[in-house]
């Protein structure tokens, strides 16, 4: 099963959900073998995707939810994750080796999300979308293999405890 998760976290990011709720997006996924799409629209999201309901999709199942229970399980079972630029979501995506497409929300705190996303993008660990109008074209280049990501190195869970021990001279 080829799955994609779109997540906005707990916040409202209707711009992202609206940009993807169109025929071109759903048909792109179906054409490229996706069988499941989960659209997580957030607690405060006001836009509910509906275009997929009018399409005759043969193999793509679309599910719309406010919040995703057992979030890490959904990330692990997804090949692609399109996400707001939340640090937790990015870390989960990198840790679980999914193809991560990150969309910054410029309306939040002076666009602080770029501080996290740009270094990861420059090292080719994520696809960074700064202009929501280009998301489908950029996503298409990733799905077709034209744009490839580097695999993020495995997490070293001992690094922080070892650093603390070193600082305490233990």
Residue range 136-160, pLDDT digits in tens: 999 999 999 888 899 988 877 777 7
What distance in Å separates the CA atoms of residue 128 and residue 117, rounded to the nearest whole number? 7
Range of the domain at 132: 3-167
Instruction: Please report which helix (H) or strand (E) contains residue 137, including its range.
Output: helix 135-143
Q: Give the tens place of pLDDT for each residue, 36-67.
A: 999 999 988 899 999 999 999 999 999 999 99
pLDDT exceeds 90 at position 167: no
Confidence label for 14 from pLDDT (cuts 50, 70 and 90): very high
pLDDT at 29: 97
Q: Is 38 helix (H, G, I), strand (E, B) or coil?
A: strand
Residue 92 belongs to domain with CATH number: 3.40.50.2000
pLDDT exceeds 90 at position 101: yes
Confidence label for 112 from pLDDT (cuts 50, 70 and 90): low
Select the more confidently predicted residue: 127 or 106.
127
Helix then strand count (H, E) for the chain reads 8, 6
State how far Cα 135 lies from the chain centre: 12
Give the number of domains in the chain.
1
Identify the DSSP state of 158.
T
Q: What is the mean pLDDT of residues 12-20?
A: 94
pLDDT at 155: 75
What distance in Å separates the CA atoms of residue 145 and residue 24, rounded to the nearest whole number? 18
Nearest to 19 by CA among 103, 90, 87: 103
Instruction: Please report which helix (H) or strand (E) contains residue 127, including its range.
Output: strand 127-129
Q: What is the mean pLDDT of residues 107-130?
A: 83
Confidence label for 11 from pLDDT (cuts 50, 70 and 90): confident
Q: Is 62 helix (H, G, I), strand (E, B) or coil?
A: strand
Q: What is the pTM of this model?
A: 0.88
Q: Sheet containing 80-84: which strands, arranged edge to edge?
A: 61-65, 36-40, 3-7, 80-84, 99-103, 127-129
Q: Is 118 helix (H, G, I), strand (E, B) or coil?
A: helix
């Amino acid at each position: 099963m080829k799955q994609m998760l779109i997540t906005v976290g707990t916040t409202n990011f209707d711009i992202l959900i609206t940009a993807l709720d169109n025929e071109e997006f759903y048909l792109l996924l179906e054409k490229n073998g996706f069988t499941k799409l989960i659209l997580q629209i957030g607690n405060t999201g006001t836009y509910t995707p509906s275009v997929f309901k009018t399409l005759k999709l043969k193999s793509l199942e679309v599910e719309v939810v406010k919040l995703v229970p057992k979030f890490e399980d959904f990330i692990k079972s997804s090949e692609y994750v399109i996400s707001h630029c939340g640090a937790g979501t990015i870390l989960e995506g990198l840790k679980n080796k999914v193809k991560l497409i990150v969309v910054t929300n410029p309306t939040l705190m002076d666009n602080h999300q770029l501080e996290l996303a740009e270094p990861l993008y420059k090292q080719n660990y994520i696809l960074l979308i700064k202009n929501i109008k280009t998301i489908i074209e950029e996503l298409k280049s990733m799905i077709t293999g034209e744009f490839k990501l580097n695999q993020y190195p495995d997490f070293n869970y001992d690094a922080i405890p070892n650093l603390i021990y070193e600082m305490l001279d233990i």
